[in-house]
Structure 1
Amino acid sequence: MTTPAKILIVDDTPHNVKLLADLLAVKGYAVLTASSGAQALEKVETEAPDLVLLDVVMPAMSGYEVCRKIRGNPATAVLPVVMVTALDPGQERVKGIEAGADDFLSKPINQQELLARVRSLLRIKELHDELAEWNRTLEQRVAAQVAQLERLDRLKRFFSPQLAELIVSGDAEDPLKSHRREVTVVFLDLRGFTSFAETSEPEEVMGVLREYHAEMGRLILEHEGTLERFTGDGMMIFFNDPVLLPDAPERAVRMAVAMRQRVDELLARWKKRGYDLDFGVGIAQGYATIGAIGFEGRLDYGAIGTVTNLAARLCGEAQPRQILISQRVYGGVEDSVEVEDLGGLTLKGFSKPVPAFNVLRLRR
């Protein structure tokens, strides 16, 4: 239930005060009264009315003087004031405007006109109060948004943009808390990188990694994957967490094919420099436990489970430029890709042969 607007009636004639007070009270307004200018100013300061109905002719202090004092106080500079008088309206209206009044009513007062003017001025005051509150908190909100952007920028150095935005917004359940979810995991690395690193200068190695990471990173973001870790030339990416994706297996495969195409361009440049490198990928789908891994001040967002081991093993088994996918991934993308069935592969850590497929190309 909203609080009724408070209206201060200022008149040295009790009969006039009662007439206005009864009329406004019946309409649901909270009524305050004052019989002099000094008492009116005191009520304005202590009661904070929303509107003042101010008689012009009063002993000691006229309504015009009261209005000027109200306008001279920054706290009440925009408080609606309606001057009420039985004097010549033409002359008094000019004096009232010069004193800072918002409106003018002549006695005897027309009740409908009074109520209409009161409603109009209270609407204006409400809008002004909203604007004043908005301005009052603007600096605070801007500072909070700047701090949020700075925090988001720092988090993006360690987490994927999707995860960083979830952490900062607080719109979802704590994404860093351990939870189970079905994900599609992608492992990739450069073939021949170890021997390349052993026989090349550190500057050359870092140059290759910078080019490689930059190109792969763009594709990870483009396909909304979550980068779990860099390990030199190796990367682990998963899909469907923290952002849920209905087509996670297809996104993973499309990303891997795009990566292979991009790496082909890099390989052509690297070959001219005498670098003998290549590229392989493994993709698996299954449930994993996901959450923050690390310690205060340095956290990673990681996934643990058989699915991550399977993706890593498929990547290790992949020949140069091969993208090996598990049976479950193939079931989710078979209409979108052309593959080579490799049958069952014997992989370390798995007691039975694991069906695997080599992605040849995407179907148009």
Structure 2
Amino acid sequence: MPTNPPRPYILLVDDEPNNLFLLEELLAGEGYRTYAAKSGIEALAAVECELPDIILLDVMMPGMNGFEVCRHLRENDEYNAIPVIFLTALDDEESRLTGIEMMSDDYLTKPIRSELLLLKVRNILKLQKMRQQSFQKKLQKQIDTAWNVSESLTEKFRLFVPDQFLQRIAPDGLDSIQVGNAREEELTILFCDIREFTTIAENQDPKQTFAWLNGFFEHMNEAIDRHHGFIDKFLGDAIMAVFDRTDHHGEDAIFAALMMEENLQLLNDTYQDALITKPIRMGVGIHTGLAVIGTVGASSRMDSTVIGDVVNTASRLEELTKTYGCNIIVSGQTRAHLTSELPVQWHLLDQLKPRGKQQIIDLYEVTATAKKSLSHNWQAVETLSVL
């Protein structure tokens, strides 16, 4: 089913329930997501739970007034860039000056004109988007020039940490990378594992295994990269890949898996008899859900990674390909996320709770509708789904 882009989240802070109700109704009508806080303390707690895109903040409140709330935000490195619009009955010059001192983005006096408020909100969100695009260009430039290293060394660095990770874990350039830099978002995870790898490897010279295994990874990476994914980790003979293209990561992962099957056949044809005595087989598990992308480890040794139930579930689906005797298992969550019909056949294998899980998951075997090479056609199908 098609999914809408994330709605901007606006935190409303006012001790008057009627004011909160009117603001919620007004902003909901424009498609914004809101949360109503009735005090300054409640507002700060809400910010800790989820960063809002904008805060609409009353000034005169019992306990902690709006100016104090704004001061706390501006003194916190994590929250100081959140746009704040004061909505207040205070119309004197001293109060306005205080609002400016608090580095608010605007100061509107009650009664508030609905048209003016909505225009202010739209403009701030638009400006945020423009700044983010400008920041991404700046980040790319910083990545290219960081540490004053040569261009070739910078390219080598990207081989270890993909650009997709750097955009998330290095918000202010490479020097800003630290343990705990993270962001939650919806992703599709693909796990791939070679069948009977231990049996194959124990009957070979390690150099032979190394040669065909790197050939396997090269062929799989080609399919993943071509369909807008990136490899998070090589886990021995397994691969964990991430697909994050907005609204299309489910399709991307399935297209990649089908091309991986095709590339595996090419690999088997290349290495048959030379390095392997029987065809290499693999299993693929695909699942969609929320995950956190960021850095983990210690201050002296860290790694970029993806953490979340979606990762564990995708891994378990890959393991289940052995049980059901198939090559690709896709979860019902991934199928529900698709925005277009795909040139594939769906076969419902089962409905079960994977080990350690509470939620029942639909398991689908996915195969291409044609036996001939489809990889040249998938890009056309994919392009149509975007239009």
Pick closer, same or farther for the CA change 1:356–1:166 going to 2, 3 Å.
Answer: closer
- 3-state SS of the aligned residue for 2:246? coil
* Unmatched segments (≥5 aa) in structure 2: 1-141, 371-380, 382-387
Aligned to 2:282: 279
Aligned to 1:248: 249
- 3-state SS of the aligned residue for 1:331? helix
TM-score by length of 2: 0.50
For 2:255, give the aligned amino acid: R
Asked if 1:330 is matched to 2:355, the reply is no
Q: How many angstroms apart in 2 are the aligned matches of 1:144 and 1:350?
A: 45
The within-5 A match list for 1:208-357 is: 208-240=212-244, 244-272=245-273, 273-296=276-299, 298-319=301-322, 322-333=327-338, 335-336=341-342, 337-351=344-358, 353-357=360-364
Q: How many angstroms apart in 1 are the aligned matches of 2:288 and 2:154?
A: 30
Q: How many angstroms apart in 2 are the aligned matches of 1:303 and 1:282?
A: 16
| Cα contact 1:220–1:226 (8 A) shared by 2 | yes
Q: Find the partner of 2:151 among 149, 152, 162.
A: 149
How many pairs align? 220
Deviation per CA, 1:99-138, whole angstroms, max 9, x where unpaired?
Answer: xxxxxxxxxxxxxxxxxxxxxxxxxxxxxxxxxxxxxxxx
Asked if 1:358 is matched to 2:359, the reply is no
Pick closer, same or farther for the CA change 1:275–1:314 going to 2, 3 Å.
Answer: same
Cα RMSD over matched residues?
3.2
| Cα contact 1:187–1:282 (8 A) shared by 2 | yes
Q: How many angstroms apart in 1 are the aligned matches of 2:293 and 2:167?
A: 17
| Cα contact 1:148–1:168 (8 A) shared by 2 | no
* Unmatched segments (≥5 aa) in structure 1: 1-140
| Cα contact 1:327–1:355 (8 A) shared by 2 | yes
- 3-state SS of the aligned residue for 2:297? strand
Pick closer, same or farther for the CA change 1:199–1:288 going to 2, 3 Å.
Answer: same
Pick closer, same or farther for the CA change 1:347–1:270 going to 2, 3 Å.
Answer: farther
Pick closer, same or farther for the CA change 1:313–1:157 going to 2, 3 Å.
Answer: same
Pick closer, same or farther for the CA change 1:165–1:362 going to 2, 3 Å.
Answer: farther
The Cα shift of 1:355 comes to 1.2
- 3-state SS of the aligned residue for 2:149? helix
For 2:285, give the aligned amino acid: G
The within-5 A match list for 1:101-180 is: 144=145, 147=149, 149-150=151-152, 152-164=154-166, 170=172, 177-180=181-184
Asked if 1:199 is matched to 2:203, the reply is yes
Aligned to 1:18: none
TM-score by length of 1: 0.53
Q: How many angstroms apart in 2 are the aligned matches of 1:224 and 1:298?
A: 29
Q: How many angstroms apart in 2 are the aligned matches of 1:168 and 1:351?
A: 35
Deviates more, 1:301-310 or 1:316-325: 316-325
Asked if 1:187 is matched to 2:191, the reply is yes
Pick closer, same or farther for the CA change 1:345–1:270 going to 2, 3 Å.
Answer: farther
Aligned to 1:28: none
| Cα contact 2:165–2:293 (8 A) shared by 1 | no
Q: How many angstroms apart in 1 are the aligned matches of 2:145 and 2:357?
A: 51
Q: How many angstroms apart in 2 are the aligned matches of 1:219 and 1:331?
A: 23
| Cα contact 2:182–2:293 (8 A) shared by 1 | yes
Aligned to 2:39: none
Q: How many angstroms apart in 2 are the aligned matches of 1:175 and 1:264?
A: 40
Q: How many angstroms apart in 1 are the aligned matches of 2:210 and 2:220?
A: 15
Pick closer, same or farther for the CA change 1:201–1:305 going to 2, 3 Å.
Answer: same
Deviates more, 1:281-290 or 1:345-354: 345-354
| Cα contact 1:183–1:238 (8 A) shared by 2 | yes
Higher relative contact order (CA 8 A, sep 6+): 2
Identity, % of aligned pairs?
Answer: 24
Aligned to 2:98: none
| Cα contact 2:219–2:267 (8 A) shared by 1 | no
Q: How many angstroms apart in 2 are the aligned matches of 1:147 and 1:224?
A: 28
Q: How many angstroms apart in 1 are the aligned matches of 2:354 and 2:272?
A: 31
Q: How many angstroms apart in 2 are the aligned matches of 1:171 and 1:224?
A: 23
| Cα contact 1:338–1:362 (8 A) shared by 2 | yes
